[in-house]
Structure 1
Amino acid sequence: MPKQFHPVAEITTTSGYDGEVRLKPLSRFSIEYILKKSLQIGTSYDSLVSLKLEKTIGLGKRMRFRFEGIDSHNKAKNIIGKTIFASTNADDAINLIGSDLLGFNIVTSSGTIVGKLKDVMWLPSNDVYVVFNGEKEFLVPIVPEIVLSVNYEEEKILISSIDGLIN
């Protein structure tokens, strides 16, 4: 079962005297989830505390964030190094790239076992699974046409049987 909250960013530094912070994104969905989802902050799933975005300043890589209750430089310094978690649903795309999938078996729709998920690479056009079968690695694009389903109970990811993908 996918987690209810997914890590999306790490607070890296303060910016200014009004409690603004800068973030290191942990996935391509980070900014979208921070702006649209309910948030939690903490160092692990066991220590999460509710967090609400007050406003954003700037655009792109220079974007700064201010959260409710963090209104001074000192309060902002206290949250450096903590992780921001966003609420997720079972069908959210971010569940296809979580670190909890590492070690899952990759199986084609025809039943062929491709290998185990070794890593997830975050590339400009789309993310890819790095799959290792004991001899060599395969890159599997994480797109709806290829990744059909994720089964958390069986620790299995089902992919399409496309010619040339794993040959």
Structure 2
Amino acid sequence: MTKRWFNVGKIVNTHGIKGEVRVISKTDFAEERYKPGNTLYLFMDGRNEPVEVTVNTHRLHKQFHLLQFKERQNLNEVEELKNAIIKVPEEELGELNEGEFYFHEIIGCEVFTEEGELIGKVKEILTPGANDVWVIGRKGKKDALIPYIESVVKHIDVREKKIEIELMEGLIDE
């Protein structure tokens, strides 16, 4: 059976001379995913198999996550990792609490009002701060931004790929 892989980040550059790499994170749980000792898999152009690495250190620097791997401790050893996509296999995603979802479960869901009117599909999730914001693609209209908060999002069914929201006044531009 083919393994399902999930994108958790991309190495965009090196940082310093001690083998750190700059990562733009695509994971919902960066602190957990990049914890020292965790195994990550790097998918690189020109390689058929992923490169397995173990996180040695993790810290934040501006908008980047800085990672150092146990297997590569200097600038020369990480130079080739630029543009690598960081992934984990499905079995390493872990269980979530009730009411928590992975981004890949939400992206692609159709969004409806409580009255059953289709608004569009979730095409991206932004993480600006206090709460996530879902970008809803709408046919022939500007994308809608929906905050993931209890007063707006009323029901999520990831199996059916359907989300029901309370459409508050002014939430969506017509």
Alignment of structure 1 residues 5-154 onto 2, 5 Å: 5-27=5-27, 29-35=29-35, 38-43=39-44, 47-56=49-58, 59-61=60-62, 64-86=66-88, 87-89=92-94, 91=96, 93=100, 95-96=102-103, 98=104, 101-102=107-108, 104-108=109-113, 111-136=116-141, 137-143=143-149, 146=153, 148-152=155-159, 154=160
Q: 1:78 to 1:126 in 2, by over 3 A?
A: same
Pair 130,65 (structure 1): closer, same or farther in 2 beyond 3 Å: closer
Q: Aligned-residue CA RMSD in angstroms?
A: 3.6
Deviation at 1:49, TM superposition (A): 3.6
Name the amino acid aligned to 1:41.
L
From the two aligned structures, give the one with the greater helix fraction: 1
Q: Which amino acid aligns with 1:6?
A: F
Q: What is the CA–CA distance in structure 2 between the aligned matches of 1:90 and 1:147, rounded to whole Å?
A: 22
Report the Cα distance in structure 2 between the residues aligned to 1:34 and 1:13, rounded to whole angstroms.
17
Higher relative contact order (CA 8 A, sep 6+): 1
Distance in 1 separating the partners of 2:115 and 2:96: 23
Once the 2 structures are TM-superposed, how far is the Cα of residue 131 of structure 1 from its aligned partner?
Answer: 1.9
Q: Distance in 1 between matches of 2:117 and 2:77?
A: 53
Tell me, which stretches of 5 or more residues in structure 2 are unaligned?
none
Report the number of matched residues.
159
Report how far residue 10 of structure 1 moved: 1.6
Opposite residue 86 of structure 2, the aligned amino acid is I
- Unmatched runs of 5 consecutive residues or more in structure 1: none
2:85 maps to amino acid:
T
Identity within the alignment, %: 21
**Does the aligned pair in 2 maintain the 1:4–1:89 contact within 8 Å?**
no
State the TM-score, normalized to the length of structure 2: 0.66
- SS of the aligned residue for 2:35 comes to helix
